[in-house]
Structure 1
Amino acid sequence: MEDESSLRERLIDVGVELVTTEGSASLGLREIARRAGVSHGAPRRYFPTHHALLSAIARRGFEDLGARFAAAIADTASPRAQLRAIARVYVGYALEYRGMFELMFRHDLLDSDKHMSDGPRLREATLPLFERVVVLVAQCRAERDTAHADGPAATGPPPPVTAAALWASLHGIAQLWAWGSLRLALDAEPTGGAPRGDQVDQVDQLVAAALDAHLGPVDS
């Protein structure tokens, strides 16, 4: 007989598969229960509300994104190169896994305490990823100050503010590309999913431009 923790994880697994293959609109409680092979009331034993189950599914998305961040920077030395790798992963994830990305940043899940089942609130799942970017921004600034030690002291907002602005820019690139606005502005052919061919280069250029805008050009 399946224990309760295994069934709880299976419900989340089914939700992850559904949102990945069919989008966030597919995450009905009855459909998740049906695909998990349990009665439609069974999920209530583990998740007090539908939103609690959705939050658990979205938390898996943040865990996956964090693992992708770690893999992307594993063999990357400089803070600037690590930031670029993370930025590319973030935008790429957003474009390839649209359903999960939308779920991860649903305001009603992020800005809610009452739908918790266990563990930290969903919005707190974003903090380790953000804190990693803050550290890298601070390291980039320190390296730049060291390289220009004979010049005037660098000025700018504190690293958390710069990191937040960079995050907002990357999120905007992903959303506007997915919605078609950036593709239209850059005269890129529409695609049904992640960018392909020349569009990959265009997205990379947008990511590089965002980094330059918030951190300064690499050779400055």
Structure 2
Amino acid sequence: MQTESTNGGLRDRLIDTGVALVDAEGAAALSLREIARRAGVSHGAPRRYFPTHLELLSAIARRGFADLGARAANAVREEGADTATPRARLAMLSRLYLDFAAHHRGMYELMFRHDLLESGELGLRETSLPLFNTLADLVAAVRPDTEPTVVAGALWANLHGVAQLWGWGSLQLALGVDDIEPLLTSVLDAHLGPAPR
């Protein structure tokens, strides 16, 4: 076990351990005791930095939002993305969101847990609003005739539902498909109108 004097950034190590654990085993595995065990510290050590379990879970979820935001920023900066149409950029960000949900299922579920979102600990405004504002700006460019934040909210809610249902296998079963792309096209068409031909 590490002692406090040799912790070398124990707070960050606890969060890193939690991020690795949620990616490997899902949100249900995130007990204080298991995170402490995997970080190599006593089971009471996390309480020095996170007085409640909720605070540690919130710190782990913030990492998820930061990761998703960084991926989105990188995608927007990629070569060609800056010259893509707003609709193409919305499609790219939507694919990225669905991909994140599919490949980081445990983190995705943790990020949207109601107890974390309602606690005020997560700092949802600071962590998710930049990405939402990007979405709303792109919607405004595609659909200037609408209230962009409302359409962006509806689009986000639709994508979130697709991510959940796809993750559970429900959509594949109902639609008899393994390719999410036609579904994404339908979602974008529903909120933005049909793509120009």
Conserved 8 A contact 2:135-2:152: yes
Is 1:112 the counterpart of 2:119 in the alignment?
yes
The AA in structure 1 aligned to 2:92 is A
Q: 1:68-147 residue pairs with structure 2 within 5 A? A: 68-74=71-77, 75=79, 76=81, 77=83, 78-113=85-120, 116=121, 121-122=123-124, 124-142=126-144
Q: 1:161 offset after TM fit, Å?
A: 0.2
The AA in structure 1 aligned to 2:164 is Q
Q: 1:141 offset after TM fit, Å?
A: 2.3
Question: Matched residues in 2 for 1:208 and 1:25: separation?
Answer: 33
Question: Matched residues in 2 for 1:16 and 1:83: separation?
Answer: 28
The unaligned stretches of length 5 or more in structure 1 are: 143-153, 189-198
Question: Matched residues in 1 for 2:181 and 2:28: separation?
Answer: 30
Is 1:63 the counterpart of 2:70 in the alignment?
no
Query: For residues 78-101 of structure 1, what are the alpha-carbon distances to aligned partners after superposition, in whole Å with 9 as ceiling and x for unaligned?
Result: 211111000001011111111000
The AA in structure 2 aligned to 1:180 is G
Cα gap change, 1:129 to 1:2, in 2 (>3 Å): farther
Q: 1:3 offset after TM fit, Å?
A: 5.6
Which of 146, 154, 161 is equivalent to 1:165?
Answer: 154
Query: For residues 32-64 of structure 1, what are the alpha-carbon distances to aligned partners after superposition, in whole Å with 9 as ceiling and x for unaligned?
Result: 011111111111111110000000000000111
Higher helix fraction (1 or 2): 2
Q: Which SS does the other structure have where 1:130 is aligned?
A: helix
Q: 1:2 offset after TM fit, Å?
A: 3.7
Is 1:206 the counterpart of 2:183 in the alignment?
yes
Moved over 6 A (4+): none
Q: 1:73 offset after TM fit, Å?
A: 2.0
Conserved 8 A contact 2:69-2:128: no
> Which of structures 1 and 2 has the bigger CA Rg?
1
Aligned to 1:215: 192
Query: For residues 103-150 of structure 1, what are the alpha-carbon distances to aligned partners after superposition, in whole Å with 9 as ceiling and x for unaligned?
Result: 00000000113xx3xxx62454221111110111112224xxxxxxxx
Conserved 8 A contact 1:109-1:122: no
RMSD of equivalent CA atoms: 1.6
Query: For residues 145-175 of structure 1, what are the alpha-carbon distances to aligned partners after superposition, in whole Å with 9 as ceiling and x for unaligned?
Result: xxxxxxxxx4x4x000000000011111111
Cα gap change, 1:161 to 1:58, in 2 (>3 Å): same
Question: Matched residues in 2 for 1:87 and 1:121: separation?
Answer: 23
The unaligned stretches of length 5 or more in structure 2 are: none
- Aligned residues between the structures: 189
